[in-house]
Amino acid sequence: MPVTPTSFSALKRSRGSVEQLTKAIQQSTQAKKEDERFWELSVDKAGNGHAVIRFLPAPSVDGEDGLPWVRTFSHAFKGTGGWLIDLCSTTLDQKCPVCESNTLLWNSGIEANKGVARDRKRKLSYTANILIVADPSKPENEGKVKLFKFGKKIFDKVFEKMHPDPAFGEAPLNPFDLWEGANFKLRARKVADYRNYDSSEFAVQSAVSADEAKLEEIWKSEHSLAEIVALKNFKTYEQTKSRLGKVLGTAVMTASADQAGSQSFEDPDAGIVSTETPGGTPTLGELSPIFTDDSDPDDMKFFEKLVDND
């Protein structure tokens, strides 16, 4: 960061330095975007990369709910009025005008509208604390505790390790356990222009360390997960509705009383049908595979870069 002048004479000498001001703006913008709590896998130009990480138990921070991960939904799409990139309030079991608009589009029965609803569907992500065991691209990260954001495919591998198929005779394993968990060999490769983690797998069961003091230090170094889904990180219903209207360049369609009477709304994100009285919204249920986004959370970074260059 350029040094701030400490005297009037120094200010006079540095006047008119557009290059210095531009550099300061760039550094300031970069500093705001980077979150040192998070780690992401580095990949080469071909989209390949690998590392070894260890999923950690729920943090010791007050206010956590005991789960070693948090689940979030988000929206990222572009309309005639720009981009909408925001967390979806259904993460907090609250109404979302984007999801309501998608519901009406889906229920129209028009295939083109269904396609639009799919494009605007919720993106599913998980975040957990990890210990970076090996990071060949950035060895300076090794031994650090970071937050790791990942998608449904990696979560499925975690879940399968906890609930293995009895036919294979494999015992259930808690991947988040410091003593009896297992390292995760994260492997990325590009398949059909998308980041793919299918070749990732868990290593054999092992303790993170035989040193109990070290284990406690790692545990106490974890970051809050509750902070990620704190209310302050979400826009209000009206703020999102206003932004959606600007992005679409039109009035927002929502499932409200002034548009329709009591009727059934099919939620394309939840894959269920529920009957509500006027003014109600669909009840969210378990995700349908059709509307679960299996793409890599790094796609969100791609969208954000597009916004920066828009």
Residue-wise pLDDT tens digits, 81-111: 999 999 999 999 999 999 999 999 999 999 9
Q: Give yes or no for residue 303 having a pLDDT over 50.
A: no
pLDDT of 136 higher than 80: yes
Does any domain span residue 22?
no
Lowest mean pLDDT among 31-35, 146-150, 293-297, 303-307: 303-307
Query: pLDDT, tens digit, for every residue of 149-200?
Result: 999 999 999 999 999 988 888 899 999 999 999 999 999 999 988 899 999 9
Which pLDDT belongs to residue 275? Answer: 29
Three-state SS at 49: strand
Torsion sign, CA atoms 128, 129, 135, 141: positive
The alpha carbon of 46 is separated from its chain's Cα centroid by a whole number of angstroms, namely: 23
- Least confident segment among 130-139, 176-185, 214-223, 245-254: 245-254
Using only C-alpha atoms, the chain has a radius of gyration, in whole angstroms, of 23
Q: Is 31 within a domain?
A: no
* DSSP one-letter string for 251-275: PPP---TTT--SEEEEETTTTEEEE
3 occurs within a structural domain: no
| Three-class DSSP labels, 287-303 | CCHHHCCCCCCHHHHHH
* Integer CA distances (angstroms), 39 to 1, 42, 182, 267, in order: 24, 9, 19, 33
The answer to whether residues 287 and 124 touch, using CB atoms and an 8 Å cutoff, is yes
Q: Give the integer Cα–Cα distance in Å for 123 and 207.
A: 34
Q: What is the pLDDT of residue 152?
A: 94
Residue 78 phi/psi, 5-degree rounding, is -115, 140
CATH number at residue 225: 3.90.198.10
What is the model's pLDDT at position 306?
Answer: 43
- Assess if residue 289 is contained within a domain: yes
Residue 206 falls within a domain, yes or no?
yes
What span, in angstroms and rounded, lies between the C-alpha atoms of 223 and 218? 11
Domain of 159 in residue numbering reads as: 43-308
| Structure confidence at residue 66 (pLDDT) | 87
Is 185 domain-assigned? Answer: yes
199 domain-assigned? yes
Tens digits of residue pLDDT in 48-59? 999 999 999 999
Structural domain count, the chain: 1
Give the pLDDT confidence score for residue 16 in this predicted structure. Answer: 58
Give DSSP secondary structure letters for 172-221. P--TT-TTT-EEEEEEEEEETTEEE-TT-EEEEE--S-S-HHHHHHHHHT
Mean pLDDT to the nearest integer, 266-275: 38
Q: What percent of the chain has pLDDT over 90?
A: 63
d(Cα 34, Cα 113) in Å, to the nearest integer? 37
Within-domain flag for 200: yes
Max CA distance (Å), the chain: 79
Pick from 37-41, 191-195, 221-225: least confident: 191-195
